[in-house]
Each structure stands twice: as C-alpha cells, then as structure tokens.
Chains A and B, each alone.
Chain A
Amino acid sequence: MSENFDELIHDFVQKYIEVVESGFESRWSQIKPEIYHNYIHECIGALLSRQATLTIEMAKAPSTWNGHVAPLFLRCMIDAYIALAWILEKPKERSKKYILYGLGQEKLFIEYLEKALNEEPDAYDAESLKQMIKIRKAWLNSQLAEWATEVNVGSWSGMSTREMAKEIGRESIYQYAYVPFSGPVHNMWQHVGIYNVHQCLNPLHKFHLVPKIQHAPIHPDFMYRSAKYMAITFEIFDKKMGTKSDVILPDVFLLSHPLFAVDDGNS
C-alpha cells in the first residue's frame, strides 16, 4: 500500500508539473509582446509564471499539504490571482503602477543596506553587503534611474486587496480564501490558537492552552485548492489575453488522477 502510494504521489507530481508547464507555455507562446511598452507583458508574464511556480513547488512537496504550511502558498497564490486579474482590466496603466511600486521598494531596501554599511563599515559581512548593493542597484537602474524612482509606502494599487477583489468581481475569493489564509501567513491567533497549542484538560488549570509542535495531517484538499487557483489564473488570462489552450486545466487533471480519486470507504 505504502509503496503504491509513493508511486502514485511520484506519478502525480511528475504529470502535474507537465500539465502546469505545458499550460503556461501553450498560452505564453500565443502572446506577441508589445516591445515599445515592454513592461506590460513583462509584468503579466512574470505574475503568470509566479503562479505556476508556486503551484509546482507545492506539488513537489507533499509534506507541505497541511494546515501549517499550505496556507502560506495558497494565500500567496490568491494574492497573485487578484493582482493579475486586476492588472488585466487595465494592463497599460496598472502594470506600470505594479512595477514602479516594486522598484520603489527595492530602492528603499537598498537605502537600508547602505545605512547598515555606513554604520558598521568594518562588519564581517561588509564586503558581501557592498556586492549585494552593487547588484541590486544595477537591477534597479537598468529599469529606472535610482534618482527617478519614487518610494510608495502605501498600497501598490492605491486600494486594499478587498477592493481589488471587488473590482474584478471576485469578492468571494477574498472573503472565503484570502481572509482565512491570512491568519496563518501573519501568525495570527485564529491560526496559532489552533495549530500551535493543545488544551490541558485539568479543570484546576482552567483548561489552559499549552504550546505544542503538532504534526498536522496531510490533506489533499490543500493541493486541490492550489490547482484550482492555477486553473482560474489560466482562465482569466485566456479571457483577457484572447489565448486558448488544449492542455487540461490543473484542477481537472488533479481530480482525474488516481491519487485524488474519491475514497469509497472500502479502502
């Protein structure tokens, strides 16, 4: 049984990666980049690739399909979906906003690094810090001169994620996926109060909670959600970019794979 299970997992992971990579390639190959405003396809393509990378990495690590870790992937994927879908509504204007915000954040980080170097020029890692600053500055300046880069410490889109989700007509994904998965991402009580404690049953201890490193069981539903988020990302991409693909959608593939076959209760 165990050997068979290991084989099933291996088979699923290999084929799932193929499905996602093929789905990505088949779509992106249909895009004719607009090189004058290159930032548009760079931004959209990078976000689509990010989504595919996240689901592939999650599939490759079945030990992460549990309540401790899977939400970190999933919240990130929902974030990527909302950002991409929102950008695709007005690609030219919004992809620029997205990139400029990122460049500003990079500039701010470089400032932090320079400050650290200035305060401790003889630190043991000073040389590597200098190298890091040089590389990061080169990346930044290759896109926009440092002096022209604005730093925005607010939200990149100028609105909250909930408002963005509402604008793309997917407020439900914010309410039922983004919000609950934000708890584990930010280590909030609604997560750690369940996953990182267990209850003492002694009444004289007021049934207090005691910290515990718990082993959360692997649950395939987490991987299904990841596949679902990848699928809706491909769908919104097709709809807005006018692409088509014959490659099976990741969630459809997942449900058809024997690893995820519905248990009839006899096994």
Chain B
Amino acid sequence: MSVLAAIVGKEFRAMSRDIHGLMVLFVMPAIFILIMSLALKDAFTPSTLQNISFTIVDLEQKKLTQDLSEQLKASGYYYQDSHNLNITEIEQQLRLGELDFAVVIREGFERAQVEYKSVPASPPLTLLINPSINPIADQGFQGQLFEVLSRQKIKIIMRLNGMSLGSPEGGSLAEKERNYSASMVAVEYPATAHKIRPTSVQLSVPAWLVFSMFFVVIPISTILIKEREAGTLSRLSTMQVSGFSILLGKLIPFFLVNQVQAAAMILVGIYLVPQLGGDALQLGPSLLGLWLMTCATSMAAIGYALLIAVLVRTTDQATTIGGVSNIILGALGGIMVPKFTMPDFMQQITEFSPMAWALEGYLDVLVRAGGVSDILNEMATLLLFAAVMLVLAVIAYRMKGFNR
C-alpha cells in the first residue's frame, strides 16, 4: 500500500507541475465550451433565421406575387432589399456570400397559381441559392418557400370550391399541392459550375484541408526546439548563419509538404470518397486559383507555425499550444461550426481567423466556381498575415536569444 501511495502521491505532484497537461485538461475544454456555446448560441432558436438573408425580385408585380412577398417577409428570415439590383448583381452577391437566397418571381406566376390542374411547362419562380450555405439552412428556406406557395394555392382552390382545411378533401389537397408547388420552383445555385447544389464533400474538403495545413505548427516547432536543445542553432549562429535564413529554410520544405498534403486530400475527395459511396469532389473551373489558394494558405500556416515555434520553449508546449490554438482558430474560422449559425458578434470574430480567410478562398474556387480574380482579397490577406508572422518570428528569434 505504501508503494501505491508513493506512486499516487508522485503522480499528483507531477500532474500539478505539468502546466501544459493541465491546460489541455481544463483550460482547453473551458475555451471550447465558451467558443462553441457562443457560436451556437442562436442555432437552436428562431433568431437564427435572422442570420439567413433573402431577397425577392418580383418581375410580375401582381396581387398574388405581392402576397407571396409579404408572406415570405413575415417568415422570420432576414429580408434584404435589392430594388436597385439586377439578376446578375444579385447572383454576384450570392456568390460572395453576401446574400443567401433570392426568390425571382417571373411573368406567369399568378396564372400558374390560379390554374388548378396543369403543371407549368417552365417554373415561374426561381430560387437562387448561395452555394456555400449550410445544407440545413438551405432545406429550411426551401421548405418555407414551398409551404408559403402551397398555402397560397390551397387558399385559392378552397375559395374556388368552397372547401375548408378540416375536411377530408382539404387534407389530401394540402399534400397534393405541396408537391405541385415544388414543380413551380426552379432551384439554382448560380455560382456553381452546373448550377447544382454543392455536395457535402465539396464543403468538407476545403474545411479540413485548411485545418490540416495549419497543423504544420507541430513538426516545425518540434524540429526547431530539438535544434535549439542540441546546440545546432547556436553552432549555426557562430557560423554567421542568420535567424532569417534558418526560418526561411524551414518555410520552403514545409511549403512543399503542404502542397503534397493538399494534393492528397483533394485526391481523396475525387477518388476515395466515391468509392465509399459518397459524391466525388468537383475541382471547379480554375485549377490555377485552387493552387494559388493552396500556396497562400500554406504560407499563412507556416508563418504562424514559425512564430509559435520560436515562442514556445519545449516540445510539450509546442504540441499543446500549437494544437489547441489550431483547434480554436478552426472553431472561430467556421471549420467546425458554420458561420451562419453564429451570432453577429461571433461572425465578426471569425474575420480575425486566418482559417476563415482560407476557407472562404477555397469555397470561392471549389463551390462558387470562382477564378483567380475572385480570391485576390483572401490571398492578399493570407500573404500579409504570413509576412507579419514571419517578421514577428524573426524578431522573437533575436529577442529570445534562440541562437544561444
């Protein structure tokens, strides 16, 4: 028993002095609870609808179309006025994620609603959707639209036939009209290559690719710390090798590692996921854009990793701080929680996560069928971030006397 007591006592002492271990056990979950709770604060309440925006383009301007507009505006979703915009401009807004849905009511809508039996040859209503919207939000809005259309149609039929909703005829009619309403609507994702709904693989590959690229922080930190402990950094310093050269020397190989990582994950999305029954990843029209986005993300990830590598003292710290900070950046960056579910202030915080910039850039290319010109902002931000991180790393390298 005394042996066991000694071991237990030793473990408690060791544990209490392992600050990083305790951080992982206590601080990390606390931070996670904080971030995730705030991020998902509105996810289960109706106020979430206010974070999903839509607009209506009424090309017919009749009584029924105005009624439809009013009912949609009363549905709880955020209505964004777009009176001064044409369809192309609205499509651009959808592509940029500035707008989530656009309901375009075309000529012939009222006639199609009033006519009872005939299914319209071409749908008089088009629903344009932001392709990077979360599928749940997508289905939710579509459901709401069909519901409003069905209700409107049922009211018309009942009024014409003198029926009530409680009657057996009324119940079967509601079900029938719901299906009919679906045929009234053409659903399009205007920013995608084939205007079809992006698959889960199309959304998940960029997210996890960005997340994994930022994990270079652990090997980079570990290598730098081992070099310092072994005295090789000090030796290189006596050989007049500058800290900048040493850090730059790490950037290049890990840049290549990130390229291989990106290629491997994209290949998994294209070939392996379909083998297991999923959809295949579509690369989009701009391979150059995809590669440039990978380069910019890689530079940002390595710049960040180098700063962490210089700031931490031990490999334990590198693993803990590098790993935990990545998870936090991922949570804040919309990797784990869709941005649209977050309250406004959390959405503003995501603007400070490099993972969010990288994710937006990848979504531009892979989901919104964007080209190089569409990702210039994200690339510039990521490269600026990389440069700032690298400069800070070099300064910290000198200030901390990493060469001694």
Partners in one complex: no
Chain A: residues with CB nearer than 8 A to chain B?
A: none
